[in-house]
């Protein structure tokens, strides 16, 4: 960590004033990108960690969150309501999307598949992904949505010679809140203890009287809310258009693979690595933007399939 600080504090020596600005831009872009990747991937990794489901439909949660938020932000703005309500809408969109979609999918489809092959469940979530993508098209149409109001409301700020949108910076804060929230929930509450027990040994959990089906349902809903939150919070900064979920899901796969599947800390490290690398590529060598992300993913899978920082797993017979 200290070498990072050294780099930042002394960067003007070897970068020059202009390069200093580029450096700061890359750093902030990278952090913002990491933040949104983390929020989405945290949901993915929680679901995987507890339920052992690699959920392709997670990309759809993200897309649904983005569409729902963008749609209502636009509607509220048209009705002349204050733009500050946008932040409420973002939170509400994430929760509504997560609870409704998460509940329907877990109860309607996945619940009946837990006894079956892991890979088959991945395929089922891919089928769900296709279905959910098209329901978006039917519900929201093919035209893009722009929900710039919350972003315009926060204006921008001068930071070390560059101008940044405050909204983008708050994204980093939201990711931090999500990270701390997850850590607290897992390590400081009774719920977290139950969850860890189920992760460690599902059958033992059941025999100790833990209501595992309920844990599964709530976990899936929680993960879905995080997926929706990622989409809803990013919505004001992008044009919300079809195909949104397709890119995000492979990026989050890369994140959780790099950090180690099923670990929150891993998702944080993975999204930092992927986010910063991608920001560097975008600014310095745009041709390799996508290549870098997946090359890192492939290399990690080849040399440390369990993820860069994943703790050793207890072996069960």
Partner 1 sequence: MFNDRTAKFLLLAALVICVGGAFAPNWIVNQFMFGFSRALAILGLMVLWRTGLVSFGHAFYFGLGAYAVAILDSKLGVSDVFLRLMAGAVVAGVAGFLIGFIMRNYRDIFFAMLNTAISMVLFGIVVKTESLGSTDGFAISASTIFGLSPETKYPLFVIITLVGLTAALAVNFYLKTTFGKLTTAIRDNEIRVEYLGFSVAHAIHLKYTISTILAGGAGALMAMSLGQVDPESMINWTVSGELVFVTILSGPGNVIAPFIGSLVFEVLRTYAFELAPQAWQLIMGATFLTIIFFLPGGIWSLIEKLGGKKNEK
DSSP 42-78: HHHHHHHHHH----TTHHHHHHHHHHHHHHHHHHHHH
Least distance between partner 1 and beta carbon 109 (Å):
7
Residue 51 found at the interface with partner 1 (CB under 8 A): no
Residue 84 found at the interface with partner 1 (CB under 8 A): no
Least distance between partner 1 and beta carbon 26 (Å):
18
The binder of partner 1 chosen from 5, 79, 80, 142 (CB under 8 A):
142
Q: 143 vs 63, 140, 242, 243, CA distance in Å?
A: 14, 8, 8, 12
Residue 146 found at the interface with partner 1 (CB under 8 A): no
Residue 284 found at the interface with partner 1 (CB under 8 A): no
Residue 301 found at the interface with partner 1 (CB under 8 A): yes
The binder of partner 1 chosen from 118, 201, 203, 284 (CB under 8 A):
118
Least distance between partner 1 and beta carbon 129 (Å):
7
In angstroms, the CA 241 to CA 235 distance is 10
Residue 88 found at the interface with partner 1 (CB under 8 A): no
Residue 185 found at the interface with partner 1 (CB under 8 A): no
Closer by beta carbon to partner 1, 141 or else 181: 141
Over 196-256, what HEC string results? HHHHHCHHHHHHCCCCHHHHHHHHHHHHHHHHHHHHHHHHHHCEECCCHHHHHHHHHHHHH
Residue 151 found at the interface with partner 1 (CB under 8 A): no
What H or E segment, with its residue span, contains residue 298? Answer: helix 289-303
SS3 (DSSP) at 21: helix
DSSP 88-127: HHHHHHHHHHHHHHHHHHHHHTGGGGTTS-HHHHHHHHHH
Q: Which residues pair with 3 in a beta bridge?
A: none
Buried b (16+ CB within 10 A) or exposed e, 176-205: eebbeebeeebeeeeeeebbebbbeebeeb
The binder of partner 1 chosen from 127, 173, 181, 213 (CB under 8 A):
127
Contact yes or no for 83/236 (Cβ under 8 A)? no
Residue 169 found at the interface with partner 1 (CB under 8 A): no
Residue 124 found at the interface with partner 1 (CB under 8 A): yes
Residue 286 found at the interface with partner 1 (CB under 8 A): yes
Closer by beta carbon to partner 1, 113 or else 186: 113
Contact yes or no for 151/165 (Cβ under 8 A)? yes
Residue span 250-279 as binding mask against partner 1, x where in contact by CB under 8 A, dash where not: x--xx--x----------------------
Residue 120 found at the interface with partner 1 (CB under 8 A): yes
Residue 295 found at the interface with partner 1 (CB under 8 A): yes
Least distance between partner 1 and beta carbon 110 (Å):
11
Give 293's Cβ-side CA count (13 Å radius).
27
Residue 282 found at the interface with partner 1 (CB under 8 A): no
| Interface residue list for partner 1 (CB under 8 A) | 54, 56, 109, 112, 117-120, 122-124, 126-135, 137-138, 142, 246, 250, 253-254, 257, 286-295, 297-298, 301-302, 305
């Amino acid at each position: 960590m200290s070498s990072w600080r050294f780099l930042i504090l002394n960067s003007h020596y070897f970068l020059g004033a202009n390069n200093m600005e580029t450096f700061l831009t890359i750093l902030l872009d990278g952090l913002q990108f990491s933040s949104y990747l983390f929020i989405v991937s945290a949901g993915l990794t929680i679901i995987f960690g507890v339920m052992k489901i690699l959920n392709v439909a997670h990309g759809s949660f993200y897309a649904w969150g983005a569409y729902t938020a963008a749609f209502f932000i636009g509607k509220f703005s048209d009705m002349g309501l204050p733009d500050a309500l946008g932040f409420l809408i973002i939170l509400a969109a994430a929760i509504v999307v997560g609870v409704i979609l998460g509940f329907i999918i877990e109860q309607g489809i996945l619940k009946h598949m837990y006894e079956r092959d892991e890979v088959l469940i991945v395929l089922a979530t891919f089928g769900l992904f296709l279905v959910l993508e098209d329901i978006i098209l039917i519900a929201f149409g093919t035209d893009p949505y722009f929900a710039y109001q919350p972003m315009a409301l926060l204006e921008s700020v001068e930071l070390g010679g560059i101008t940044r949108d405050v909204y983008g910076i708050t994204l980093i804060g939201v990711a931090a809140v999500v990270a701390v929230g997850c850590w607290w929930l897992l390590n400081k509450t009774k719920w977290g203890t139950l969850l860890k027990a189920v992760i460690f040994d599902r059958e033992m959990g059941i025999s100790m009287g833990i209501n595992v089906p309920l844990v599964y349902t709530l976990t899936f809903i929680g993960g879905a809310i995080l997926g929706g939150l990622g989409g809803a919070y990013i919505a004001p900064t992008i044009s919300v258009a079809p195909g949104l979920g397709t890119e995000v899901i492979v990026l989050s796969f890369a994140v959780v693979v790099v950090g180690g599947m099923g670990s929150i800390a891993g998702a944080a490290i993975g999204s930092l690595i992927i986010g910063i690398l991608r920001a560097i590529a975008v600014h310095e060598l745009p041709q390799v933007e996508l290549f870098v992300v997946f090359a890192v993913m492939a290399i990690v899978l080849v040399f440390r399939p369990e993820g860069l920082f994943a703790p050793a797993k207890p072996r069960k017979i």
